[in-house]
Amino acid sequence: MWTINGRPFRTDAVLASPRLGSVERWRFSSDFHHPVHVHLAQFQVLARGGRPPAAADAGWKDTVDVRPYEVVEALVRFDGYKGRYMLHCHNLEHEDMAMMANFQVI
């Protein structure tokens, strides 16, 4: 089973509780290649491996490609709706192994 923050997916667990209308700095890191998708929140990549983002990182995103042993910093905007959403790896076999987590916009 794949994990996020060292925790297996649980439907009743909430990883983060950002406020509606807020912007948070999130860091995505991994020891394996994961395209990380954040549902109903858009973000801008601030840095990749401590360096400025690549040209392909420009603009608003909902998915970011995180390479092995890389840290991607992003500003995530929560301006849609209150409610429970999910972030997960977009590699199909990782989704099948429950590499996902809930976050609750309050």
User: Could you tell me the residue ranges of all domains in the chain?
Assistant: 22-105
22-105 is classed CATH 2.60.40.420? yes
Is pTM beyond 0.75? Reply is yes
Per-residue pLDDT of 2-57, as tens digits, reads 889 888 899 999 999 999 999 999 999 998 999 999 999 999 999 999 999 999 99
Does residue 57 contact residue 47 with C-beta atoms inside 8 Å?
no
Task: Give one DSSP letter per residue of 16-55, joined into a string.
Answer: B-PPTTEEEEEEEE-SS-EEEEETT-EEEEEEETTBPPPG
Average pLDDT (63-83) is 96
Close Cβ partners of 56 (under 8 Å, ≥ 6 residues apart): none
At 82 the pLDDT is 97
pLDDT per residue over 86-105, tens digit each? 999 988 887 788 899 999 99
